[in-house]
Homo-oligomer: A and B are copies of this chain.
Amino acid sequence: MARNSSIQSGAPHQRSQMSNDTKLKIYLAQINPTVGDLDGNTQKILQQIKLANESGCDLVVFSEMTICGYPCEDLWQKKYFAIACQEKIFEIAKATKDYKCAILVGSPLIDLERKKEVMRNSVLLIEQGEVKKVINKKTLPNFGVFDEARYFAASQTLSTVEFRGLTLAILICEDMWDQFNSFLLREQVYDALIVLNASPYSAKKHQYRQKAAKNFAKNLVYVNQVGGHDSLVFDGSSFAMDAQGKIALQMKEFVEDSAIVEVEKSGKILPSAAIQDLGAETKRNYQACVLGLRDYVSKNGFKKVLLGMSGGIDSALVATIAVDALGKENVALYALPSRYSSDESMNDAKECAQNLGVNLEVISIEPMFEAAKFSFNQAGIDLIGLTQENLQSRIRGNILMALSNNSGALLLSTGNKSELATGYATIYGDMCGAFNPIKDLYKTQVYELSHLRSEVIPHNILTKEPTAELRPNQKDSDSLPDYAVLDKILFELIEEQKSIAEVAKNFDKTLVEKVAKLLHFSEYKRRQSCLGPKISDMDFSRDRRYPITNKFNK
């Protein structure tokens, strides 16, 4: 605890080194850390500090929890994990002691509160080899995908820092979203606001962020983490805004990036040349799927993926995302036809693979399906229709997992959100897989994103009627309402958390009840599903947390 207490109490307050320039230069470092990779993250941090210092900057600002990545979940409960992070802070301080450029970097920190050890979500101001100030997060998000109340003790105050003639208020992510904090800060005199973030992507998130920022009516620098982590994708999209709410800088989305803003001694942030256009929503969703997949694969030490191509739109889109994320040389595609597979499906699958520049291997499921029926027959067991359908899907799962085990490539699952919501997916069958890039896309969104890549996804796949081809002439519409209607009902039940009675004001009541029942009854499947990138405001991986045993369905 010696080191810790020295971090917390800080060195005796010294007057900060004054810059000779009339303006301050702030470097925004939008990096992609990996959770738990303290060594790798520290190397990235040091590289950025070096660049910032060489550019004559006064301050380099990183994202929240820079040292360890975000979110670390129960790693944050382990004291030796926090100590390992703190050691990295000393390493950074030591390596930069001769730099003019100061550093704002995020880390978990052990602190004392009422003589009891607590964990903080902290930001450290490091200057000339010393930790000059520790800022602790005040507003801990504990809703949606966030569980910070499980790990951290909240700071009771917001604090400002005197830095080279400027008074800076430092906020950590959710601090900026808490209206009460903007009210508190209005009582304080400060020149500019610096916000360190790990703000996960969802389709409309960036506009929410800028709205929350405007609330403070202050010159503001916002640095966000970028990269995929399990079911979360961080889009970066860091920015700076002047006190009038005008964007002074807009950084890139979905890639690492850096930029410099100049700040006058009044706190005024000067307009930067670097104002990136952010993509339209569908394009952005597509990029989130690509980045989520790429980082899941690479950060877990894999290179290659494989998947089964049915000839339908879901697997065509997943294959396209995979090729864009990992390169065609790292994607293997398999067609696993049965007696019910149509020539049309096989041709569509082949054409799509060809357009992607990937060979399509064919392995028939018929021998295993026949052997299974033989074995059950020997045991005197007649298989009902649904069992036979699931069996085909599970034989495909088996074959794909064998290919995965044999080659070291991760299997991708290809079920969309509408399927997972209604249970129109076979557990241990088409739900097999390490990652599902389209898990949080409704079927109608699958079409939207597929149209973006219509140069590789064949026209016939974009226009034909969906079918699972598990029995003769099967169509999705035999069991499910039209996706355009289904998705709207699901959106109201899931994203808007409406009751059946409320949704039934807008749709046929019997239909709403049927959909709600499917959603309710398939909870057990979702609980065993693989991860996929969060796109919506209510994903199935971390946002929506339901009991399986639950008799309330109203």
Chain A interface residues toward B at CB < 8 A: 34-38, 40, 68, 71-75, 77-78, 80-81, 84, 142-143, 147, 149-150, 229-230, 295-296, 299-300, 361-365, 367-368, 370-372, 374-376, 378-379, 381-384, 386-387, 390-391, 394-395, 397-399, 401-403, 405-406, 427-428, 432, 434, 497, 499, 501-502, 524, 527-531, 544-554
Q: Point out the residue from B296, B402, B406, B497 that lies within 8 Å of A549, measured CB to CB.
A: B296
A403–B381 CB distance below 8 A = yes
Q: Which residues of B contact A554 (CB under 8 A)?
A: 80-81, 84
Q: Which residues of B contact A401 (CB under 8 A)?
A: 390, 394, 427-428
Q: Which residues of B contact A371 (CB under 8 A)?
A: 367-368, 370-371
* Distance, CA A295 to CA B550, complexed state (A): 12
Q: Point out the residue from B40, B142, B372, B379 that lies within 8 Å of A368, measured CB to CB.
A: B372
Q: Point out the residue from B370, B406, B530 that lies within 8 Å of A384, measured CB to CB.
A: B406
Q: Which residues of B contact A395 (CB under 8 A)?
A: 398
Given contacts A150-B143, A554-B80, contact A428 B397 (CB under 8 A): yes
A75–B386 CB distance below 8 A = no
26 A-B residue contacts at CB 8 Å? A35-B550, A37-B551, A37-B552, A72-B552, A80-B502, A81-B554, A142-B149, A229-B549, A299-B551, A300-B549, A363-B376, A364-B375, A368-B372, A370-B371, A384-B405, A386-B405, A390-B401, A390-B402, A391-B402, A394-B401, A394-B402, A401-B427, A434-B524, A527-B530, A527-B531, A528-B529
Q: Point out the residue from B230, B545, B549 that lies within 8 Å of A74, measured CB to CB.
A: B545
* Distance, CA A170 to CA B81, complexed state (A): 39
Q: Which residues of B contact A72 (CB under 8 A)?
A: 547, 550, 552
Identical chains bound together, number:
2
B74–A544 CB distance below 8 A = yes
Q: Which residues of B contact A147 (CB under 8 A)?
A: 147, 150, 545
B383–A363 CB distance below 8 A = no
* Distance, CA A428 to CA B400, complexed state (A): 11
A375–B394 CB distance below 8 A = no
Q: Which residues of B contact A529 (CB under 8 A)?
A: 528
A375–B383 CB distance below 8 A = no
* Distance, CA A296 to CA B37, complexed state (A): 39
Given contacts A147-B147, A499-B80, contact A362 B387 (CB under 8 A): no
Q: Point out the residue from B71, B406, B528 that lies within 8 Å of A530, measured CB to CB.
A: B528
A546–B73 CB distance below 8 A = yes
Q: Point out the residue from B36, B365, B402, B432 that lies within 8 Å of A547, measured CB to CB.
A: B36
With A35-B547, A372-B399 known, 7 other A-B pairs at CB within 8 A are: A38-B552, A142-B150, A300-B524, A300-B549, A367-B372, A390-B405, A528-B529
Q: Which residues of B contact A434 (CB under 8 A)?
A: 524
Q: Which residues of B contact A374 (CB under 8 A)?
A: 367
Q: Which residues of B contact A550 (CB under 8 A)?
A: 35-36, 72, 75
Q: Which residues of B contact A399 (CB under 8 A)?
A: 372, 375-376
Q: Which residues of B contact A36 (CB under 8 A)?
A: 547, 550-553
Q: Which residues of B contact A230 (CB under 8 A)?
A: 547-549
* Distance, CA A296 to CA B434, complexed state (A): 27
Give the interface centre of A386, A544, A546 by most chain B CB atoms within 10 Å: A546
* Distance, CA A230 to CA B524, complexed state (A): 10
Q: Which residues of B contact A502 (CB under 8 A)?
A: 80
Chain B: which residue is nearest A502 at the CB level? Answer: B80
| A382 → B minimal CB distance (Å) | 8
For the complex of A and B, the 8 pairs showing the least CB-CB separation, nearest first, are A36-B552, A371-B371, A37-B551, A367-B371, A149-B149, A387-B405, A36-B550, A36-B551
Q: Which residues of B contact A402 (CB under 8 A)?
A: 372, 376, 383, 387, 390-391, 394
| A338 → B minimal CB distance (Å) | 12
Q: Which residues of B contact A364 (CB under 8 A)?
A: 375, 378
Give the interface centre of A73, A524, A549 by most chain B CB atoms within 10 Å: A549
| A341 → B minimal CB distance (Å) | 15
* Distance, CA A424 to CA B18, complexed state (A): 60
Chain B: which residue is nearest A524 at the CB level? Answer: B434
Q: Which residues of B contact A398 (CB under 8 A)?
A: 372, 391, 394-395, 398, 428
Chain B: which residue is nearest A144 at the CB level? Answer: B150
Give the interface centre of A229, A381, A394 by most chain B CB atoms within 10 Å: A394
Q: Which residues of B contact A367 (CB under 8 A)?
A: 371-372, 374-375
